[in-house]
Chains A and B, each alone.
Chain A
Amino acid sequence: MGDWEQGKEIPSIRQLAVTLRVSVITVKRAYMELERDGIIVTQQGKGSMVAPDPNLGARLYDQELAKHIDRVAQLGELLGLTPKEVASRVREATDRLTKDRLTKEYS
């Protein structure tokens, strides 16, 4: 994902702040969040690099999915749908996606 490959060294906090013209503290904050999520690793005195983790992409997508599912549940409740109705709406969407793919492949 993104432009930086696994294991690649990334600029120091100060360097990136100067390049982007945003404050050091903002970049520091972003690095901390990336580190917490396991996307980058920082070694004392050596700087930071992109974490060499092959499962990272899948994990990020999984987090993203969980977030959207929560949102679906909230919206369903707002509209007064039963859990069953919400589930069937999700099912409809996945069916539609499959159908779209099939029509594309055979057309």
Chain B
Amino acid sequence: MNDLSVHFEGVSKIYPHFTLDDLSLELPTGTIMGLIGANGAGKSTTIRILMGLVHQDRGLVHVLGREMPREQSAAKLDIGFVSEDMRLYGSATLAWHMEFVRSIYPQWDQAYSEMLLRRFDLKPQQKIKGLSHGQRVKAALLLALARRPRLLVLDEPTTGLDPVARQEVLGELMAVLADEDRTILFSSHNTLDVEQISDQITFIDRGRIIASDNKEMFLERWRRLRLVLSPEADLPSLPGVVEVGGSERLPVLVTNRFDPAMVSACNDAGATVQAVDPMTLEEIFVANVHSRREKQTV
């Protein structure tokens, strides 16, 4: 039994102006992973390689135990994929699309598809060209979900959705996870969505994975410390400091290896800790990217 739904080992892909460099990634079955990165960071390239749409130059990719891209047609029976650049037929109705997908995938769950129509507030007789952006996204998602795939791969599923539609979509993704044999990988630059539903989080920047861990680890280890230095004291050296801001007397540090013992260590060194602030995933991501980029340019 293979309990990794997605496994990348040392995957590289070289384009004239962009390189995906030595990517390694593990996604355990039954979890949701959020892939976070700025525009052009390599999220979509990663997802295309995973789907066998782009072939890696180096490295091994296994998806649901199948080697990609060699065994992609077998793997795709069990993968539901939705991306922004996926087009539905404008002059056909949603009902036509549902029938079409059903004719290809034997696992299509008719009752579930009808429930999704109601939950997403979609009308099957409506033509695709008459749908709003949000309705199109939900229609594409319905077509993928109703196949009951073991792995859902979603490229920016919540981009451009209004708050109500976003919550509908996130709720439906969580509902998929009620079954612990199913796995979701989704990319987003909306860190709030990722923070809400992800178990695993991977940050990508400039074609490299800069951090990949479970969400609680990120939220637990990253802290912003506000210090007051006594006149004769120097800034104590603390583990995992990625950013030093504030003024000389009132420094503000960001660490990615926070430990409660740090506070007393600071106080002993003449640096009174005024506050220890938890950070949002967005702040963590931005601090992470900045510190990596600084190291690269040095």
Residues in A lying within 8 Å of B, measured CB to CB:
14-15, 17-18, 21-26, 29
Residues in B lying within 8 Å of A, measured CB to CB:
30-32, 167, 170-171, 174-175, 177-178, 180, 196-200, 214-216
Asked, given contacts A14-B180, A17-B174, A18-B178, whether A25 binds B215 with beta carbons under 8 Å apart, the answer is yes
Supply 15 A–B pairs (Cβ within 8 Å), ascending by A.
Answer: A15-B178, A18-B174, A18-B178, A21-B170, A22-B174, A22-B197, A23-B198, A24-B30, A24-B31, A24-B32, A24-B177, A24-B199, A25-B200, A25-B214, A26-B216
Asked, given contacts A14-B180, A29-B216, whether A23 binds B32 with beta carbons under 8 Å apart, the answer is yes
Q: For the complex, what is the distance from the CA of A22 to the CA of B215, rounded to whole Å?
A: 11
Distance of A10 from chain B, by nearest CB (Å): 16
Q: For the complex, what is the distance from the CA of A25 to the CA of B216, rounded to whole Å?
A: 7
Besides A21-B171, A24-B177, 18 more A-B contacts (Cβ < 8 Å) are A17-B177, A18-B175, A21-B167, A21-B170, A21-B174, A21-B196, A22-B174, A22-B196, A23-B32, A23-B196, A23-B199, A24-B31, A24-B199, A25-B31, A25-B216, A26-B215, A26-B216, A29-B216
* Secondary structure type dominating chain A contacts: helix
Residues of A contacting B167 in the complex (Cβ-Cβ under 8 angstroms): 21
Q: For the complex, what is the distance from the CA of A44 to the CA of B225, rounded to whole Å?
A: 40
Residues of A contacting B216 in the complex (Cβ-Cβ under 8 angstroms): 25-26, 29
Instruction: Give the contacting residue for B199; candidates A15, A18, A21, A25; CB below 8 A.
Output: A25
Residues of A contacting B170 in the complex (Cβ-Cβ under 8 angstroms): 21
Residues of A contacting B214 in the complex (Cβ-Cβ under 8 angstroms): 25
Distance of B251 from chain A, by nearest CB (Å): 19
Q: For the complex, what is the distance from the CA of A17 to the CA of B178, rounded to whole Å?
A: 8
Residues of A contacting B198 in the complex (Cβ-Cβ under 8 angstroms): 23
